[in-house]
Chain A
Amino acid sequence: MSEFVSFKIDGKQCMGRAGEYITEAAERNNIYIPTLCDYKGTAPKASCRVCTVKVNGRVMTSCTTPLQEGMEIENETAEIQDIRSGIIELLFAEGNHLCPSCEKSGSCELQALGYRFRMMVPRFPYLFPVREIDASHPKLIKDHNRCILCKRCVRVMKDEKGRSFFAFYKRGAKLEITIAPELADKITDEVAQQAMDVCPTGALLKKRKGWDVPVGKRLFDMKPIGSEFEQVK
């Protein structure tokens, strides 16, 4: 096991293991850094940028930056929080998020961050893109309106040979998620459920079962995102 080192988050003295990601080290110290694309147990690919912090004055993503002795990390400064709420607003304005009609509502990480950052009206113009809902797959619905391209499904969901069920397609503003057609029959009910759980939003939904968690029992109904750390404070 690697050695313990000391570092600071917003001036608070903390201890963590050298080389672990800043997100992990913060968690160890009961400090919440918001994340969206990060997924425990899978190599990070900092795509959402929500976990942005300043490390010794430089803008970095905490899900990919290994901890080093003496780091001075800015987490909840006005500057950083404004970047983060800007990013969340960007994600809402980029897609079509009609929460009341979304099955993931209440358990959606994007929505939960919207609440946490008290988003009212995004500072950006809504793009209202025309995007597809693909229900052709026997087990899964893929709703591009809600996909934030966090790449979790691509990174996590592999078959026994390591081949990807999901992949990116195209680039830039045209980027979207596809499913490998020849692996479609390997997507069993369990795999479909896993994909739905991996997805932070309502972009991947398992077919033939829905709305089975009643309001009040959804993931963030009683415990807003990030509150697990803050209660300890």
Chain B
Amino acid sequence: MSSVVSGVLQEYGNDAGRLMDILLDIQAENGYISDEDITGIATGLDMSTADVEQTVSFYHFFARKPMAKYNVYLNNSAIAVLMGREKIAEAFERESGCKFGEVSEDGLISLEDCADIGMADQEPAALINGLVFPNLTGFLVKELVRDMRKGVSVDELRAHGLGDGMNNSQHLKATVNNNIRKKGAVIFSEYQAGSALDKVKSDRMSPEQLIELVKQSGLRGRGGAGFPTAMKWDFCRKAQGEKKYIFCNADEGEPGTFKDRVILTERPRLIFDGMALAGYAVGAHKGILYVRYEYMYMKHYLESVLTEMRNEGALGKKVNGIDGFDFEIRIQYGAGAYVCGEESALIESAEGKRGEPRDRPPFPVEKGYRGMPTVINNVETLCSVAKLVTNGVEWFKSLGTGQSTGTKLLSISGDVKYPGVYEVEWGFSINDILEMSGGDPATVQAVQVGGPSGSCVGPNEFERTISYEDLSTGGSMMVIGEQHDLLQDVVLNFTEFFIDESCGSCSTCRALAVMYKKTLEKVLSGGGRRKDIDAMLSWSPIGKASRCGLGQTAMNPICTSIKNFRYLYEGHIKNANEQYEGGFDIAKAVADSCEVVGRRPNL
């Protein structure tokens, strides 16, 4: 066993439940995870190598081969494509002399694709050795590769410009921009660190009273599903368990969403205070912030905030001087898997396993992390709690609409003048949003609300509003201009995203998404029939029988666009009245078989 492996194993007490951290640390040290490392880990943790490999191979960013000195992962999400990703890919290939999926001959540069990296407001963007390089241009790529050839370190590569706000700070030094376009009352208004817990202390609020307060506020989860937060906490408080856990979900994998990135950058204390409140409410002493790998550049920064909190007594024993309330927080990083944002997959991943969602019941509030009652909340939800405790329920309820109280952060990207994060009160219409962000209603073809798993909405529905009552969303708004091919560049891209990101466990997700892709491609290539369009709609109940939201919504890009843009599909159907199968190209089939037997086709 190498000394790196044995050291790392020792650091985590040979606990298989920390396999993610073990792998991340080994990769950080050696650049990749070797066969020998796998054997060492398996021996140390009393697992089979296949067991270790089953976790490693699940995640996009674990490398099993020695990597290049500079590893470029270029985002290929739909927004990146709309913003000119292909030109950037060509520039990288031209400058580095290797293709995507390869390492350059001198071992200096490797090029890989990756899914959305949470930078839709500053695409095209790439991760290079874990650091983000947004707003790429052909020129910038040329300079980057030139500097790589000179051996400039990745740290120095970012010299061409740090971002705004805390991105510019000592611990972050990130090239990322916040792009906060509109500050609202809840998340981006001023917050005095610790004040939510001060309030709990000064009002002598009991955990039950805190839950009641959250209930009164009408707060619902901001992660997409909109579950009432107080109800979740109450279930967990009442559940039996030696220990309880609070998870903050900062996986933010839904393409087109990046608002949690900005909260993590600008309001980390609000998040951590929110986690402590949740812990106080349910009786948990441990919180885990699960952050997507793509935000690794924030690691030191977030750790430094936690250290500061420990020094101030805002974490540890008797948090904020509240008797009997001990609370600690640790950060858990992922390694590239969208499905890990699903709450039970997130727990599996934090337990060192593949991010395969669990069957429910039991729900995490009964049996979650390490089998104990666990609350999982989105970043924005926990921040809202901290604010509403500080400023009061009436204040919170005065914001938004009747059923949707408070504010919502929107991540707006695509064909608008001002992509970025907007904090708005619930009840905004899509038209309002376009106006606010500088989208031109005359040239907007569609708005994808809620990411790929949401719906593709056309101009006839732009009066609809963002609220739990109407268009409920985690906040992703992708604006697609008329110059783009909606089906090819967006719908197909989203469908491929689900294929790549499915954990593969359910037949109805793993295989059905592929069937959708095949059939869409058939239609796009001109071989489709009208019945193919109807068939795709009719498969939807099969996908809905999947275990988690990913498989249950993987057909949405296709099904919602058929519903709202059927004419685009019909436009590809050549012989509208033909009934016979159209996907078969006889000329090509004859050519293929002739090639096999070495003859020349005579058609």
Q: Which residues of A contact B (CB under 8 A)?
A: 44-49, 52, 59, 61, 64-66, 79, 82-83, 86-87, 90-91, 93-94, 123-125, 127, 148-149, 151, 159, 161-175, 178-183
Q: Are B46 and A163 in contact (CB under 8 A)?
A: yes
> Given A66-B361, A164-B48, A180-B48, do A87 and B504 touch, yes or no (CB 8 Å)?
no
Q: Which of A52, A93, A167 contacts B54 (CB 8 A)?
A: A167
22 A-B pairs with CB atoms under 8 Å apart are A45-B359, A45-B505, A49-B545, A87-B508, A90-B515, A93-B515, A94-B510, A125-B522, A127-B511, A127-B514, A163-B46, A167-B48, A168-B54, A169-B53, A170-B504, A171-B58, A172-B501, A173-B504, A175-B504, A182-B42, A182-B48, A183-B50
Cα(A64)–Cα(B507), bound, Å: 16
Q: Are B359 and A44 in contact (CB under 8 A)?
A: yes
Q: Check: B432 CB closer than 8 A to any chain A CB.
A: no
Cα(A230)–Cα(B510), bound, Å: 32
CB-defined contacts of A165 to chain B, threshold 8 Å: 48, 50
Cα(A44)–Cα(B48), bound, Å: 22
| B217-225, B281-289, B368-376, B535-543 - interface stretch | B535-543
Q: Are B48 and A163 in contact (CB under 8 A)?
A: yes
Cα(A172)–Cα(B514), bound, Å: 10
A175 CB, min distance to chain B CBs, angstroms = 3
Cα(A183)–Cα(B39), bound, Å: 12
Q: Are A173 and B545 in contact (CB under 8 A)?
A: no
Q: Are B48 and A173 in contact (CB under 8 A)?
A: no
Cα(A65)–Cα(B522), bound, Å: 38
B501 CB, min distance to chain A CBs, angstroms = 7
CB-defined contacts of B512 to chain A, threshold 8 Å: 90
B437 CB, min distance to chain A CBs, angstroms = 33
CB-defined contacts of B337 to chain A, threshold 8 Å: 171
Q: Are A49 and B518 in contact (CB under 8 A)?
A: no
Could you say which of A66, A172, A173 has the most chain B C-beta atoms within 10 Å of its C-beta?
A172
Cα(A94)–Cα(B503), bound, Å: 16
Cα(A173)–Cα(B539), bound, Å: 18
CB-defined contacts of A86 to chain B, threshold 8 Å: 539, 541-542
The residue in chain A whose Cβ has the minimal distance to the Cβ of B546 is A49
CB-defined contacts of B513 to chain A, threshold 8 Å: 173
CB-defined contacts of B48 to chain A, threshold 8 Å: 159, 163-165, 167, 180, 182-183
Q: Which of A48, A59, A125, A171 contacts B519 (CB 8 A)?
A: A125
Q: Are A87 and B359 in contact (CB under 8 A)?
A: no
Q: Check: B249 CB closer than 8 A to any chain A CB.
A: no
CB-defined contacts of A173 to chain B, threshold 8 Å: 499, 502, 504, 510-511, 513-514
A210 CB, min distance to chain B CBs, angstroms = 26
Q: Which of A124, A151, A167, A174 contacts B50 (CB 8 A)?
A: A167
CB-defined contacts of A46 to chain B, threshold 8 Å: 359, 506, 547
Q: Which of A47, A169, A183 contacts B57 (CB 8 A)?
A: A169
Q: Check: B429 CB closer than 8 A to any chain A CB.
A: no
> Given A175-B504, A180-B50, do A91 and B359 touch, yes or no (CB 8 Å)?
no
Q: Check: B354 CB closer than 8 A to any chain A CB.
A: yes
Could you say which of B48, B49, B361 has the most chain A C-beta atoms within 10 Å of its C-beta?
B48
